[in-house]
Amino acid sequence: MTQSRQDIATLREFFQRMPKVDLHRHLEGSLRLQTLAEIAVEHGIDLPAYSIEDLRPYVQVTEDEQNFHSFLAKFRLLRRFYRSREAVERITYEAVADAAADNIRYLELRFNPVALSRAQNFSFSDVTEWVGNAIANAQKDHDIVVRLLLQIGRDEHLQVAEEIIEVALAARHLGVVGIDLAGDEVNYPPHRFAPLFQKASQEGLGITVHAGEAGGANNVRVAIELLRAQRIGHGVRVIEDSDVVRFVRESGVALEVCPTSNFQTGVVGSLSYHPLPDLIALHLPVTINTDDPSISDTTLTDEYMVAALVIGLEPAQIRDTVLTAVNAAFLPEEERRRLLERFTAWNTLPTK
């Protein structure tokens, strides 16, 4: 049945008010376009355009794009803006403020120290400290809890990956709770990272791995077995292999699903055929996330609207994914329990 504009507006208001959790959001994909333009002018960064609308096609996915490598290419320009401590802290603070404005109450923000350090040859520990300082300030000003994940590229040198893990271990007082492996899973298998990720897991860092996105279902099994992944970034292609579905369900590993991103990268051909309902029906732990809000021009409220109106989830199912996300958060058990109590206290669903 077609919903009226009033029904759609009511649903959007409901989802906007809903306290939310985002476990899969990249800092480098969360920059305000106005901030990009201002930093470019301040630091003399040569851009293809300086007005917001003219700059938009270079950093956001346009309607005619639906390609994984085209999506990743947006980061080449976005990673040129970390020109000073002030820029890193501003971009981070604004990313948290924007999440809080969308009523996200728990956020795990991931970033690649290599990307943040490259423009001015900063140290990994310095940029991590600056990001940590910014989230501390943002948490004081906004009703949100933020934790950090340090990302490692699949094409990275092992020595660099080891250094990033060492920084993550040393920066837990700044809110760092885990590491992430990301990038081109088709051309860069993860096997060489196994000893490093196993050590990181033993040291108490949470492990999430991008898998089952551009690559097939078996990549998810490898990430769990070899890298000790506790969560999988995207993971939607597990649906292609019933044995992997069963393995993921038995492992209890949560999937960080990002619907709009999955469409824009070409992982799914149409949002109306997104496997999210099937993943839920198969009793897999599923969460809904934004991935890169600036690149995709989305919010978590938008993702919930897509999940409800296009993919076909009920509001109660979407709320269940929030509770799944709380349970999958990389938090000590006592902190997770307190967070879960806060979310379960909010139990109103919209009337039909």
Q: List, for residues 29-44, the tens digit of each pLDDT value.
A: 898 888 877 877 776 7
Q: What b/e string do you get for 238-277 counting C-beta neighbours within 10 Å, with b at 16 or more? A: bbebeebbebbeebebbbbbbbbbbbbbebbeebeebbbb
Residue 65 token pair = 């794009």
CATH code (residue 151): 3.20.20.140
Q: What b/e string do you get for 40-58 counting C-beta neighbours within 10 Å, with b at 16 or more? A: beeeebebeeeeeeebeeb
Instruction: Establish if 195 belongs to a structural domain.
Output: yes
Structural domain total, the chain: 1
Positions of the chain with pLDDT lower than 70, given as ranges: 1-2, 43, 45-52, 54, 57-60, 62-81, 119, 347-352
Instruction: Establish if 204 belongs to a structural domain.
Output: yes
pLDDT of 6 reads: 79
d(CA 297, CA 290): 10
Residue 351 token pair = 């009337």
* Structural domain containing residue 180: 5-344
Residue 148 token pair = 């950090």
Instruction: Establish if 61 belongs to a structural domain.
Output: yes
Tell me, yes or no, if 213 is annotated catalytic. Answer: yes
Instruction: Establish if 131 belongs to a structural domain.
Output: yes
One of 89, 156, 213, 303 is an active-site residue; which one?
213
pLDDT of 64 reads: 54
d(CA 349, CA 166): 44
The answer to whether the CB of 229 falls within 8 A of the CB of 285 is no
Return the bridge partners of 233, or none.
210, 256
Instruction: Establish if 259 belongs to a structural domain.
Output: yes
Instruction: Establish if 351 belongs to a structural domain.
Output: no
Instruction: Establish if 190 belongs to a structural domain.
Output: yes
pLDDT of 120 reads: 76
Q: What is the pTM of this model?
A: 0.92
Instruction: Establish if 292 belongs to a structural domain.
Output: yes
Residue 42 token pair = 């301040």
pLDDT of 351 reads: 43
